[in-house]
Amino acid sequence: EVQLAESGGGLIQPGGSLRLSCAASGFTISENYMHWVRQAPGKGLDWVSLIYSGDNAGSYYADSVRGRFTISRDSSKNTLYLQMSKLRAEDTAVYFCARMPPINDAFDFWGQGTMVTVSS
Amino acid sequence: QSALTQPASVSGSPGQSITISCTGTSTDVGNYNLVSWYRQHPGRAPKLMIYEDTKRPSGVSNRFSGSKSGNTASLTISGLQAEDEADYYCCSYAGSNTYVFGTGTKVTVL
């Protein structure tokens, strides 16, 4: 059974850093495109970042987070990460990881999300 | 990376059909056959309902169908049921290895 479980969220002060994790089971993350998507409280979905499948996988970011967030994966742990730095109040959101199989370019499995609150 | 435009709300009675629009531009919706649709119940993760404009994943009811004309994609829900009451989001590949979601539509079953 495919499962994604995010962790690492919490309350962080503006300017701080946080690393989110997404542990996958039932499939191999390095064989899929993996994404982070966020949702601010009461708001819509907002695409954040993508890492492609395979070795030397390219990573890409929304303009709002480029230069502050870094996506990565550890194939040995089958885990996806999002390193967030220089956090701002507007980064406050539930962060979801999602799988995108290369064959259909859609997010077919999602985790339940982890809440990040940026506040002093 | 401007969000795709969806109506804020759509409603219908049980058994009726409703359609949700998703309007983008010639650089996203209109340029790729890569629009997907997601249903999200409160406090839950989104669920894939349609991908590649018109395809339905295994296990999704055939009451859900997708279409596209130019820069506007649409999701039609026929035979509306109480369980369809949720938020719905479209998403499109936007080029340069980026994706963009729609603003979201709240569906109410009257």
Count of CB pairs separated by less than 8 Å, A with B: 64
Contact present, B10 and B110 (Cβ < 8 Å): no
Q: For residue B45, give the nearest of B86, B91, B106, B95 by alpha carbon.
A: B86
Three-state SS sequence of A20-39: EEEEEECCCHHHCEEEEEEE
User: Cβ contact (<8 Å) for B101 and A37?
Assistant: yes
User: Cβ contact (<8 Å) for A60 and B98?
Assistant: yes
| B1 has a pLDDT exceeding 80 | no
**Exposed/middle/buried for residue B67 (C-beta within 10 Å: 0-12, 13-18, 19+):** middle
Antiparallel, parallel or unpaired: β B35-40 and B86-93 = antiparallel
* Residue pLDDT, tens place only, A51-60: 999 988 899 9
| A99 has a pLDDT exceeding 90 | yes
For CA atoms B18, B54, B57, A60, the dihedral sign is: negative
Q: Which residues of A touch B97 (CB under 8 A)?
A: 50, 58, 60
Contact present, A38 and A93 (Cβ < 8 Å): yes
* Residue pLDDT, tens place only, A5-30: 999 999 999 999 999 999 999 999 99
* Residue pLDDT, tens place only, B11-65: 999 999 999 999 999 999 999 999 999 999 999 999 999 999 999 999 999 999 9
